[in-house]
C-alpha cells in the first residue's frame, strides 16, 4: 500500500466556515492527521448551512460540511473556558500545523496568537486565513466572503453588464482561493520545518483574489496608465465570436477568435455562405457585426446538443465548449474515468458522492477516503489516548460542558 504524501504530519484546525476547513481538508486529502475543533452542541457553522437530503435540516447531514471535512477527526471543545484553552494548547503542542481563520484580536484574547504559541511550540507552523490579513486597518473587521471579494475591485471588474450595477459573486471564491494559497505555503513550510523551525503564515483572502481574479493586467495597467477594464456582461465586446449561445439542450460558450479557430468553427457549422465572407476573417470586424453573426450561429446551435457542438468544434480545432450544469459535471465520463467523483459511506447520510483529489501524485494519489466526522465522534480517542486524561477527568469535563 502506498504511503500518503503527508503521513505523519499532524494538523489542528481551529475555525468556522470555509477557509480553514478547506485548507485543512487539503492536508487531510494527502494523509495528514487532522483534528477539527468544534463548539460543543452546535459544532461548526457549516453543519447548519445545508444543503440537506430532502431539504430537512440536520447537523449531521449538511452537504457543505460533508464536502469540507472529509478525512478529519472531530472533537468538541469550549475554548472560551480556561480549561478548554488549556486542552487546546496541549493538542497544538503535539501538532506540526495549526490552521485557523479567527480575527487576530480574538486569537490574542484567547492567548492563542503566534507570539504566545511559538514560545510553547517553537516549531509550530501557524496558518492564519482571514479576510484582510493580520495587519492593517481592516485586520479585525468582521467580514464575509463577499466583503473580501469586492474589496479587491473584482466585483466591479467582472460581475455584471457594462453600464449597469455590479452583481454579487457566489461560491465563497475568496475563501477557497485563500485556502489554496494557505495550503501551498503551509506545505512549503512543513517541508522546511526541520531546518527553519516555526512560521506564521498570514493569508489575506482579499489579496489572494487580487492576485488571481484581478491580477497584473488590471492592477498593473492602472498603476502604469491610470486605466483599467470594466465588466462586460457575457462575452467580449471587441472580438467575436466570444459569447454564450443557446442550443438544443442548454448553452454553449462559443469562442473562436484566431483565424484558424474561426475557420474551424465555420467548417463545423457546415461552411455556410455567410461565414465565408473574407471580411469575417478579422475578429474585430466580426465583433462589429456580432448581432448578425450570433443570430446566424444560433440557427445552427439550436439544431444540436451542447456536447455535439463541443465535439464538432474540437474536431475542427475550435475551443468552443459545452456549458455544463452540476449534474452534467457529476456524471461526466471524463470525471468518472479519472475517478474524480468518489463515493463514501457516512453513518447518518449513507452512501454519498464527493469530489476527489484536485491534484494527483502518482505514488500517493490522495483524496477523500473517510466521510466527514460526526460532531465530537473522536472526543474519547483524542482526550483519553492522545492527551492522557483519566476516565474521571474526561467525564468531569463532559459534565462541565468543556468538551
Q: At 306, which CATH number? A: 3.30.1540.10
- Predicted local distance difference test score (pLDDT) of residue 262: 95
Residue 318 near residue 330, CB atoms below 8 Å: no
Q: Per the domain annotation, does 224 fall within a domain?
A: no
Does one domain contain both 192 and 65? yes
Cα(43)–Cα(356) distance, rounded to whole angstroms?
Answer: 25
- Predicted local distance difference test score (pLDDT) of residue 216: 59
Does one domain contain both 176 and 316? no
Distance of alpha carbon 128 from the chain centroid: 16
What is the full DSSP assignment across 71-116? T-EEEE--TTSHHHHHHHHHHHHT-SEEEE-S-HHHHHHHT-SHHH
Q: How many structural domains does the chain have?
A: 2
CATH classification of the domain holding 367: 3.40.50.10540
Cα(86)–Cα(66) distance, rounded to whole angstroms?
Answer: 29
- Predicted local distance difference test score (pLDDT) of residue 2: 66
pTM over 0.85: yes
User: What range defines the domain where residue 283 resides?
Assistant: 242-324
- Predicted local distance difference test score (pLDDT) of residue 42: 93
Residue 229 near residue 157, CB atoms below 8 Å: yes
- Predicted local distance difference test score (pLDDT) of residue 1: 55
Return the SS3 of 134.
coil
End-to-end CA distance of the chain: 36
Does one domain contain both 123 and 69? yes
Does one domain contain both 286 and 389? no
Phi-psi region of 31 (alpha: psi -120 to 50; beta: other; left: phi over 0): left
Q: Per the domain annotation, does 96 fall within a domain?
A: yes
Does one domain contain both 343 and 320? no
Does one domain contain both 366 and 297? no
- Predicted local distance difference test score (pLDDT) of residue 236: 78
What is the tens place of the pLDDT at every residue in 263-300? 999 999 999 999 988 899 999 999 999 999 999 999 99
Q: Which portions of the chain are predicted below pLDDT 50? A: none
Burial class (CB in 10 A: 0-12, 13-18, 19+), 363: exposed
Cα(314)–Cα(308) distance, rounded to whole angstroms?
Answer: 10
Residue 240 near residue 287, CB atoms below 8 Å: yes
Residue 24 near residue 72, CB atoms below 8 Å: yes
- Cα-based angle 268, 272, 275 (whole degrees, multiple of 5): 90
Kindly state the cell numbers that stand for 111.
492567548
Cell 464538432 found at: 312
Cα(127)–Cα(131) distance, rounded to whole angstroms?
Answer: 13
- Predicted local distance difference test score (pLDDT) of residue 217: 61
Cα(250)–Cα(221) distance, rounded to whole angstroms?
Answer: 37
Does one domain contain both 15 and 113? yes
Cβ-Cβ contacts under 8 Å for 52 (sequence gap 6 or more): 58, 61, 62, 63
- Predicted local distance difference test score (pLDDT) of residue 225: 80
- Asked which of 324, 348, 379 is the last residue of a domain, the reply is 324
Return the SS3 of 53.
helix
- Cα-based angle 247, 249, 250 (whole degrees, multiple of 5): 65
Cα(300)–Cα(328) distance, rounded to whole angstroms?
Answer: 22
Cβ-Cβ contacts under 8 Å for 47 (sequence gap 6 or more): 59, 60, 62, 65, 375
- Predicted local distance difference test score (pLDDT) of residue 232: 76
Does one domain contain both 52 and 127? yes
- Predicted local distance difference test score (pLDDT) of residue 233: 77
Amino acid at each position: 500500500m502506498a504511503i500518503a504524501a503527508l503521513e505523519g504530519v499532524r494538523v489542528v484546525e481551529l475555525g468556522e466556515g470555509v477557509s480553514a476547513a478547506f485548507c485543512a481538508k487539503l492536508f487531510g486529502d494527502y494523509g495528514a492527521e487532522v483534528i477539527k475543533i468544534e463548539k460543543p452542541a452546535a459544532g461548526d457553522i457549516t453543519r447548519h448551512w445545508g444543503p440537506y437530503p430532502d431539504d430537512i435540516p440536520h447537523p449531521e447531514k449538511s452537504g457543505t460540511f460533508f464536502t469540507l471535512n472529509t478525512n478529519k477527526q472531530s472533537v468538541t471543545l469550549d475554548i472560551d473556558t480556561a480549561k478548554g484553552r488549556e486542552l487546546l494548547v496541549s493538542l497544538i503542542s503535539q501538532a506540526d500545523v495549526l490552521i485557523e481563520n479567527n480575527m487576530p484580536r480574538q486569537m490574542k484574547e484567547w492567548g492563542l496568537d503566534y507570539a504566545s504559541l511559538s514560545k510553547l511550540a517553537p516549531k509550530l507552523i501557524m496558518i492564519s486565513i482571514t479576510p484582510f490579513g493580520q495587519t492593517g486597518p481592516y485586520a479585525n473587521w468582521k467580514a464575509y466572503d463577499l466583503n473580501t471579494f469586492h474589496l479587491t475591485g473584482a466585483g466591479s471588474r467582472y460581475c455584471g453588464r457594462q453600464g449597469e450595477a455590479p452583481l454579487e459573486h457566489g461560491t465563497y471564491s475568496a475563501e477557497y482561493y485563500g485556502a489554496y494559497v494557505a495550503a501551498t505555503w503551509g506545505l512549503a513550510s512543513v517541508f522546511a520545518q526541520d531546518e527553519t523551525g516555526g512560521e506564521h503564515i498570514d493569508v489575506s483572502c482579499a489579496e489572494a483574489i487580487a492576485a488571481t481574479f484581478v491580477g497584473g493586467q488590471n492592477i498593473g495597467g492602472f498603476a502604469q496608465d491610470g486605466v483599467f477594464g470594466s465588466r462586460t456582461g457575457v462575452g467580449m465586446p471587441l472580438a467575436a465570436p466570444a459569447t454564450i449561445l443557446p442550443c438544443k439542450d442548454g448553452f454553449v460558450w462559443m469562442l473562436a477568435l484566431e483565424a484558424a479557430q474561426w475557420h474551424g468553427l465555420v467548417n463545423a457549422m457546415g461552411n455556410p455562405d455567410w461565414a465565408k465572407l473574407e471580411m469575417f476573417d478579422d475578429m474585430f470586424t466580426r465583433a462589429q457585426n456580432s448581432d448578425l453573426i450570433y443570430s446566424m450561429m444560433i440557427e445552427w446551435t439550436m439544431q444540436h446538443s451542447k456536447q455535439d457542438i463541443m465535439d464538432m468544434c474540437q474536431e475542427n480545432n475550435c475551443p468552443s465548449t459545452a456549458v455544463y450544469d452540476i449534474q452534467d459535471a457529476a456524471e461526466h465520463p471524463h470525471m468518472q474515468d479519472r475517478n474524480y467523483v468518489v463515493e463514501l459511506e457516512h453513518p447518518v447520510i449513507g452512501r454519498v458522492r464527493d469530489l476527489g483529489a484536485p491534484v494527483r501524485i502518482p505514488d500517493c494519489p490522495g483524496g477523500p477516503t473517510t466521510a466527514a466526522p460526526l460532531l465530537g465522534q473522536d472526543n474519547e480517542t483524542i482526550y483519553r489516548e492522545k492527551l492522557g486524561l483519566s476516565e474521571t477527568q474526561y467525564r468531569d469535563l463532559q459534565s462541565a460542558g468543556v468538551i
